[in-house]
Amino acid sequence: MEKIKKLTWREIPQARLAVWTLIAGEFVIFGGLIVMYILNRLKYESWGEMAQHTNVWAGTINTFVLLTSSYFVVKAHEAAVHKNKAQIKKWIWLTIVCAFMFLGIKSYEYTHEIMHGFTLPGKHLVAEGLGVESRYWSFYYTMTGLHGLHVIAGALALFFVMRNVTKTDKNYQRIEAAGLYWHMVDIIWIFLFPLIYLIH
């Protein structure tokens, strides 16, 4: 790894500064949701039983998919540095395929859970006297759903940036900016996965 001096705040390109600011804002939004989930999770131990009904293997594969896609995005970024359009296209398409895989597995999970009666208003659960536990699923669907929307947004951003860059042959720094956003989506999932699936 070559030694490179850290940038000063005067040198940072404006696209990257803007995306970092956006990421700080998104961290607070997701962080607020996660803080509320943790508070409720600490309050109700019985939510651990509900967590056992999640599909851990689907979640595990999804984590793997997102980690891999993060790797693809940095490769795309590396290709953007060398202005290698073919490579950019290849890595970003791979990332978008990962996004689709993620969403596909997620929808499989949702279907599975809804078929077992873990729906959003949780009528079955409340009828069984599991009103408190039904709110675990409220958090589950809200957090993963909001994350899913970010996956879609990130994939769209990557797609449009790639099309724009490869057509106009300029603004290569945009690949990195869109990539930063994609990594944020990955980081959020890294924290959501153990919070939702692993802690029983």
Q: Does residue 167 belong to the site contacting other proteins (CB under 8 A)?
A: no
For residue 62, the minimal CB distance to other proteins (Å) is 11
Exactly one of 116, 124, 163, 200 binds other proteins (CB under 8 A); which one? Answer: 200
Which long-range CB contacts under 8 A does 43-50 form with residues at least 24 apart?
Answer: 44/132, 44/133, 44/136, 46/132, 46/133, 47/132, 47/133, 47/136, 48/199, 48/200, 49/133, 49/200, 50/118, 50/133, 50/136, 50/137
> Which amino acid is located at 97 in the chain?
V
Cβ closer to other proteins: 73 or 96?
73
Under 8 Å CB-to-CB from 154, ≥6 apart: which residues? 99, 178, 181, 182, 184, 185
174 CB-contact burial (10 Å; exposed 0-12 / middle 13-18 / buried 19+): buried
Q: Does residue 114 belong to the site contacting other proteins (CB under 8 A)?
A: no
Q: Does residue 187 belong to the site contacting other proteins (CB under 8 A)?
A: yes
Q: Does residue 23 belong to the site contacting other proteins (CB under 8 A)?
A: yes
- Among the listed ranges 2-10, 100-108, 110-118, 151-159, the one in contact with other proteins (CB under 8 A) is 2-10
- Among the listed ranges 7-15, 92-100, 106-114, 154-162, the one in contact with other proteins (CB under 8 A) is 7-15
Q: How far is CA 186 from the centre of its chain?
A: 4
Residue numbers 87-106 binding other proteins by CB under 8 A? none
Residue numbers 123-162 binding other proteins by CB under 8 A? 126, 128-132, 134-135, 138-139, 141-142, 146
Nearest to 192 by CA among 159, 145, 133: 145
The residue count for binding other proteins (CB under 8 A) is 87
Residue numbers 51-70 binding other proteins by CB under 8 A? 56, 60, 63-64, 67-68, 70
- For 78, left (φ over 0), alpha (ψ -120 to 50), or beta? alpha
- Among the listed ranges 96-104, 106-114, 156-164, 184-192, the one in contact with other proteins (CB under 8 A) is 184-192
For residue 71, the minimal CB distance to other proteins (Å) is 4
